[in-house]
């Protein structure tokens, strides 16, 4: 059996320019919101590290982990367009 989706390329223009404009604005807004949330978590983790002077080592470890995870998430969100572009180029979508 042949692949029925072979040669079909996703295209949002079929729904019209208004739909394209709406989903692009919505995606940009959600992306910006996600970046702000990641910045908040990063700040919270950094503040946790700064406030742990001579405190419990477990709290310091948790704060470092939170800051590291938030930093990775923030970097991924900032580079999201590049990451998606790489996947599309690799998998030739």
In tens, the pLDDT along 47-60 reads 988 887 777 888 88
Q: Given a cut of 70, is residue 93 above it in pLDDT?
A: no
Do residues 12 and 20 lie in contact, with contact meaning Cβ atoms separated by under 8 Å?
Answer: yes
Reduced to 3 states, what is the DSSP secondary structure of residue 76?
Answer: helix
Q: What pTM was computed for the model?
A: 0.75
Residue with the bigger pLDDT between 57 and 73: it is: 73
- Residue 63: count other Cβ atoms within 10 Å of its Cβ: 20
Name every residue whose Cβ is closer than 8 Å to that of residue 13 and which is 6 or more positions away in sequence: 20
Domain ranges of the chain: 38-93
């Amino acid at each position: 059996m042949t692949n029925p989706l072979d040669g079909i390329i996703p295209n949002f223009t079929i729904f019209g320019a208004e739909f394209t404009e709406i989903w692009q604005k919505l995606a940009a807004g959600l992306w910006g919101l996600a970046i702000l949330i990641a910045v908040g978590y990063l700040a919270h983790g950094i503040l946790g590290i700064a406030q742990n002077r001579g405190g419990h080592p477990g709290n310091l470890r948790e704060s470092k982990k939170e800051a590291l995870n938030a930093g990775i998430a923030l970097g991924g969100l900032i580079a999201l367009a590049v990451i998606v572009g790489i996947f599309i180029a690799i998998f030739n979508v």
